[in-house]
Amino acid sequence: MNADTILAADRLSLWYGDTRALEEITMEVPDRRVTALIGPSGCGKSTLIRCFNRMNDILPGCRIEGRVTFHGQNVYDNGSDPVTLRRRIGMVFQKPNPFPKSIYENVAYGPRVHGVRDRKELDRIVERSLRRAALWDEVKDRLSHSAMSLSGGQQQRLCIARTLAVEPEVILMDEPCSALDPIATAKVEALIGELKEQYCVVIVTHNMQQAGRVSDYTGFMYLGRLIEFGETTQIFESPANELTENYITGRFG
Amino acid sequence: MQQTGQKQEGTPLQARESLRISGSTTVLPVAQAAADAYMNSHGNVDIMITGGGSSVGIQAAGEGTADIGMSSRDLKAEEKTRYPGLLSTVIGNDGIAVIVHPQNTVGPLTLAQIKGIYQGNFTNWKELGGPDMTIVVVGRDSASGTREFFHEKVMKKEDFVAGQLEKNSNGAVKQTVGQTPGAIGYVGLGYLDGTVRAVPILVDGDPIEPSVRNVLDGKYPISRPLLLLTNGEPKGLAQDYIRFLLGPEGQKIMLDEGFVPLGQA
Amino acid sequence: MATERDGKVHRQRTGELVIRGILLLCAASAVIAIFFILAFLLRDAYPIFQTVGIADFFLGPVWNPTSYPVEKFGIVPLVAGTLCVTAGAMAIAVPLGIACAICIAHLAPPAVRDIVKPAIELLAGIPSVVYGFFGLIVLSDWIRVTFGIPSGESWLAGSIILGIMALPTIISVSEDALTCVPREFAEGSLALGATRWQTISGVIVPGALPGISAAVILGMGRAIGETMAVLMVTGNAAIVPSPLWNVLSPVRTLTGTLGIEMGEVATGSMHYHALFGVAVVLLVITLIVNAVATLIIGQIREKYGRSKGSCAGVTGQERKPLFPPEIRERIGTVILVGALSCIGLPLAGVAGYFACAILLSLLLLSWNRVSPRSAEKVAFFFLFAATAAVLLVLAIILGDIVINGLPALSLGFLTEPPRDLGRSGGIFPAIVGTLYLVAGAIAFALPLGIGAAIYLSEYTTEGRVTKIVRAGTDLLNGTPSIVFGLFGFAFLVLFLNFGISLIAGQITLGLMILPTVIRTTEEALKSVPVSLREGSLALGATPWQTVSRIVVPPAVPGIITGAILSIGRAAGETAPILFTAAVFSQRFLPSSPFSPVMALPYHLYILATNVPGAEANKYGTALVLLMLVILFYALAIGIRTHYRRNSHW
């Protein structure tokens, strides 16, 4: 790899009750790049990234074997705190989930929760985050309006701004555009392109063309296993694994 | 008793005194009326009265949760053992009237006949010379002091009929009898009014009306003493109140409420 | 820098642990309370089991404490009475209640809903004593005349009154559950060409089944535990109805026995211990009912409900049902026909039962021939009729109180203390006393209940701990009000030596409304979407921050509903304050939490049952109590509407 590895899975397996959802996943995610995870429905992509920020913890009956390391430290260590972890590894969900509060309050929520009280500081953070999410110009005159009054695409960018406000190092995105129209999708994809200059982005998508457009690295998953992982151009033009090739060429979806 | 100030003979009370009285629902109207009169003439006194039944009154006086307990029955053996210091003061008497619906024309009944009705031996009023109506037997709940007295005096401790309707107070018995044409019940004298008809009791061939006069004269066969209980000799405000009740003003209140005052003709 | 962050993390962690501990204590409070109540009851009941023997007590066919020479303490007729009256009440309240709830939630236009829903919550505010009067004076007389029997005080009267009393609970909670079913369900069904009625009956009602089941259980708890109203209308004859379906027979319930005999029993006597034995039996019955109900609801939840935080893309293993679907559907129909045919029993005996069964079967067979459109019209007609019936009942009862009570109202009535045994003068100290009692009860129960609900909903997953806490809460919910009164008396008044006092009454009332607060708060919290919680957690918020800032605010309207239902109950209950706080007359206002108080429901009860000639004031007191409750309700509804408008759902 050219870039430094910031996040890695090491023989990671996961069970929901008796069902095995992930099987011995080993991969390294580089910093300041966009890494995409593709594969058919139910292959475990969302489950995998939820392991990175320990969101699977809140699901009952979930069991992990193996390690997930962040800056070399195992995040599932006994002493490790998921709350601080989630501040450094942020997540944007498939269906936009803004809080039933104002636009300003949505973005300010994260910093507030982490102890920022000064109003001026919050103003600064809110503006900066909204600018980075390319939403500022559209909402700057109605920050006190409810977040629910925004369109789907705007809500998703708001969620991204919200995540940026706590200044994470990694941004996990779980099919961020699947609920959006093409124009909104284009805007979010452009945003991803800008974000990678500062953050490590991992994006799950079932849209191969999107993966091809935005990512530097791609991993192909099937039935809970990581089949192949490599630079995007390599995966799409000359996949090493037959299964990967069949998926890319559309023989199965 | 809770005294919040010093009391000297002849000097007005410095702070408000309170008196707690609880117990028999039969005695309650009298105790309340007396308390009202007492409070009107002695300002700054708060007399608080609760019902609950004779047993509650006895227990409250014994445990000290009330200053005075009211009872319409005598202390039972267990109660005397449990609260040896309890002293009872008779403040008057109560007659128990047997009542029927105003439209029920049945004539005077003997105690034996009443017992028979309550045992379930008669099922229709026409068997007793009354109209053709099914008899509906109404009584009090099994813990009632009034019922206990009735059970002893009239039933001679034999069982009531199983289907008897049980009510939890004199007022409730009166209510039911007043609106159920075939009903028969028993209530304290003070509860008699135009909504029910009192049946005279046949004693040696003479019909005796339930009235204060007949109870005082000893002619009416079903009557019992009403008691106020204190833990030891009554003192202070409790003593004053009881004295008031026993005095002419208090006894007149008894009469007004329909109860039988002590003694004299 | 690293140490600073470590310190903050450490502080956050300790803070979180402390909060979690406090919430756990709140959740445990219900269990602790039940434990105490059971302990005190058993302590005083033990002698009867020792003397009479458990078998004779439980299976004895005669309850006659004044029997001479040997008292008889067999509880079979009492248990029969409780079961009969409760079954009858549920038979009336469940179909009417759910029909009404469906009508309010999905059929009525919003303007109608805004009037009807508060009106029904008003039914919950009518005190049990008032229901008792109404039953005694109006209902039992009507039954006597209509059926031509000597006395109308009967099983039927008891079931009708209890059914009406359980209605508001069932309707309110069911309606909340029905409105929480996601719109996507209904849209999916309509998009397939189903009629509105098919959508409602096939998709929406099953989707709300867990909440509806919760409503029915809460209603049943209300019915089993009701004391004052039943003892006034069932006749209190300790007999088993013969034949068994004779709804016109007088009966006596376990609660009625306690209510009617406890006040006048000698402490320490065998009768006294027997009554505590009755209280224990009551609790055991409640426990059994709750266990069975939890089992049923658990199965329904698995089948229809959504679990918190669905696994991304993977579903758990489905348990194999016992019978294949075709047989299950048939069984359901057979049971329904069997149950409904019971209507024929009191009308014409066994022949009537079979006649009804045949009639219903024919009806059901021909139902499938009817077009969906017509079926919808019929169904909607019945739903609206049910709602109209409920509103009519409310109108009759309210009308009776208002018409008879208005003449007694005057400024003097509201501001003066009572005179002449309450026949004249006013009820000012009673008004103040009731306000104090309710305020204290809410202050006690609301924080405790909300804390418990938050713990159950947000801090644990379904496991042993939650099962135990829930069992405790359900048991507390079913505990009859008179048992609370007994416990309050034995523990607060005597053991802790508070004496008959305001604070003893407040705590007793608070314990009584605690389960309602917990239940409704939990339902409200569960209705907040999981995605919001995930969004907050993903930003690095702690569980408590997520709960307090994201989950609780949208749940406030639901929490307020629970508070409303609780206030209604607390204000109108007589039994819990009978032995713990109330005094019939007091010239001055209570000067400390340790003095007794006057209270409106108790005043009403004494006026009507012990004071002849107080007609006008009796109705006047009832009217004032009602107006007070309406005031509370209006306040709470205002708050709820305000929050609904501002919460941007």
Chains touching B (at least 3 CB pairs under 8 A) are C
Instruction: Examine the pLDDT at B21 and tell me if it is beyond 60.
Output: yes
Percent of chain A beyond pLDDT 70?
Answer: 98
Please answer yes or no on whether C239 and B170 come within 8 Å at the CB atom.
Answer: no
Looking at the domain that runs over A5-97+170-248, which CATH code has it been given?
A: 3.40.50.300
Window 142-181 of B: residues touching C by CB (8 A cutoff) are 142-145, 147-148, 151, 157-160, 162-172, 174-176, 179-180
CA–CA min distance C616, chain B (Å): 16
Stated length of chain A: 253
The Cα–Cα gap between B38 and B51 comes to 19
Would you call C1 an interface residue with chain A, using a CB distance cutoff of 8 Å? no
Number of Cβ within 10 Å of residue C279's Cβ equals 28
Q: Taking CB atoms and an 8 Å limit, are C260 and B165 in contact across chains?
A: no
Mean pLDDT of chain A: 90
A170's tokens: 């990694």
pLDDT score at A174: 92
- Name the range with the highest mean pLDDT among A206-220, B135-149, C213-227, C266-280: A206-220
pLDDT digits (tens, 9 = 90+) for C537-559: 999 898 899 999 999 988 888 88
Interface of B with C in 205-264 (CB under 8 A): none
- C646 touches A at CB < 8 Å: no
How far C26 CA lies from chain A's nearest CA (Å)? 22
What gap in Å lies between CA C232 and CA C226, rounded to an integer? 11
Q: Does C8 touch chain A (CB under 8 A)?
A: yes
Contacts of A110 in chain C (CB under 8 A): 539-541
DSSP-assigned states of every residue in C221-261: HHHHH--HHHHHHSB------SSTT-TTS-B--HHHHHHHH
Reply yes or no on whether the pLDDT at A103 is more than 90: yes
Mutation for A interface: C1, C17, C302, C539, most A CBs within 10 A: C539
Question: Chain-wide mean pLDDT for chain C?
Answer: 81
DSSP-assigned letters across all residues of C521-557: HHHHHHTS-HHHHHHHHHTT--HHHHIIIIIHHHHHH
Calpha distance C211→C220 (Å, rounded): 14
Q: Write the pLDDT tens digit of every residue in C62-107.
A: 888 877 777 888 899 999 999 999 999 998 898 888 888 988 888 8
Question: How crowded is the C-beta side of B70, counted as CA atoms within 13 Å?
Answer: 26
CB neighbourhood size of C343 (10 A): 14
Partner A contacted by C314 (CB < 8 A): yes
Q: How many CB atoms lie within 10 A of CB A127?
A: 16
* pLDDT of B108 strictly over 80: yes
Predicted pLDDT at C533: 92
Q: What is the rounded CA–CA span in Å between residue C79 and residue C576?
A: 22
Q: Where do the domains of chain C lie, and which CATH numbers do they carry?
A: 1-40+409-649 (1.10.3720.10), 52-331 (1.10.3720.10)
Q: What is the DSSP secondary structure assignment for residue C355, as one 8-state letter?
A: H
Q: Which residue has the tokens 């305020």?
A: C439
Chain C hits for A97, Cβ within 8 Å: 529, 531-532, 534-535
What are the tokens at B87? 């002293």
Tell me which chain A residues have a C-beta less than 8 angstroms from the C-beta of C537.
55, 58, 86
The angle at the Cα of B226, spanning B222 to B231, to the nearest 5 degrees, equals 145
Quick one: residue B183, left, alpha or beta (phi over 0 = left, psi -120 to 50 = alpha)? beta
Q: What is the pLDDT of residue A253?
A: 64
DSSP state of B209: -
- Whether residues C583 and B63 touch (CB distance < 8 A) is answered with no
**CA B247 to each of CA B11, B26, C72, C523: distance values in angstroms, whole numbers, following the listed order:** 22, 20, 44, 63
DSSP state of B44: T
Q: Which residues of A touch C (CB under 8 A)?
A: 16-19, 21, 41-42, 44, 46-47, 50, 53, 55, 58-61, 81, 83-88, 90-91, 93, 95, 97-101, 109-110, 113-115, 146-148, 159, 162-163, 166
Is residue C612 within 8 A of residue B171, CB to CB? The reply is yes
Q: Which of A136, A68, A81, A84 is nearest to A107 (CA)?
A: A136
* Mean pLDDT value of segment B86-101: 92
> Residue C7's pLDDT is what?
61
pLDDT band at B4 (very low <50, low <70, confident <90, very high): very low
More confident position, C383 or C364? C383
Q: Which of B63-67, C449-453, C525-529 tops mean pLDDT?
A: C449-453
Residue C158 has pLDDT above 80, yes or no: yes
> For residue C243, is the peptide bond before it cis, meaning its omega torsion is within 30 degrees of 0?
yes
Residue C345 DSSP symbol = H
- With CB atoms and an 8 Å threshold, state whether A100 touches C549: no
Lowest pLDDT segment from A146-155, A235-244, C286-295, C422-431? C286-295
Say if strands B223-231 and B86-100 run parallel, antiparallel, or are unpaired: antiparallel
Identify which of A19, A55, A98 has the shortest CB distance to residue C538.
Answer: A55
* CB contact (8 A) between residue B166 and residue C259: no
β-strand pairing of A73-74 with A62-70: antiparallel
Whether chain B has a CB inside 8 Å of the CB on C179: the answer is no
Nearest CA to B245 among B223, B225, B227, B224? B227
Contact (CB<8Å) C531/A95:
yes
pLDDT digits (tens, 9 = 90+) for A218-248: 999 999 999 999 999 999 999 899 888 888 8
Question: CA B125, B130, B132 angle in degrees (round to 5)?
Answer: 60
Ramachandran angles phi, psi of B88, nearest 5°: -110, 140
Is C596–B35 a contact, with Cβ atoms under 8 angstroms apart?
Answer: no
When pLDDT is averaged across residues A150-171 and rounded to a whole number, the result is: 92
Under 8 Å between Cβ of C126 and C403: no
Closest Cα partner for C427 from C441, C439, C409? C409
- Which residues face B165 on adjacent strands? B138
Question: Residue C481's pLDDT band (boundaries 50, 70, 90)?
Answer: confident
Tell me which of B8-17, B125-134, C209-218, C355-364 is least confident. B8-17
Mutate to test the interface with B, among C264, C267, C272, C578 (most CBs of B within 10 A): C264
> H-helix or E-strand containing B140?
strand B136-140
Q: Are the C-beta atoms of residues C92 and C86 closer than 8 Å to each other?
A: no
Q: Are C496 and C479 in contact (CB under 8 A)?
A: no
Among partner residues C65, C153, C609, which is closest to B169 by beta-carbon distance? C609
pLDDT tens per residue, range B139-197: 987 767 788 888 888 998 888 888 888 887 787 888 889 888 899 999 988 888 888 99
CA distances to B3, B17, B39, B238, C87 from B43, rounded to whole Å, are 15, 10, 6, 15, 54
Q: Which residues of A are less than 8 Å from C314 in CB distance?
A: 16, 19, 21, 42, 47
Residue that wins the pLDDT comparison between B19 and C269 = B19
What pLDDT is recorded for position C609? 67
Query: Taking CB atoms and an 8 Å limit, are A162 and C12 in contact across chains?
Result: no
CB contact under 8 A, C250 and B59: no
Radius of gyration of chain B (CA): 20
C266 touches chain A (CB under 8 A): no
d(CA C235, CA C255) in angstroms, rounded, equals: 13
Query: Looking at beta carbons, which residues of chain A come within 8 Å of C532?
Result: 97, 99-100
pLDDT in tens, C370-401: 777 777 888 888 888 888 888 888 889 888 88
For the segment B204-222, the average pLDDT, to the nearest whole number, is 87
Q: Look up residue B3 and give its DSSP letter.
A: -
Write out pLDDT tens, residues B39-60.
Answer: 888 888 888 888 777 877 888 8
Largest distance between two CA atoms of chain A: 57
Q: Do chains A and B touch (3 or more CB pairs under 8 A)?
A: no
> Over 60: is that where the pLDDT of C320 sits?
no
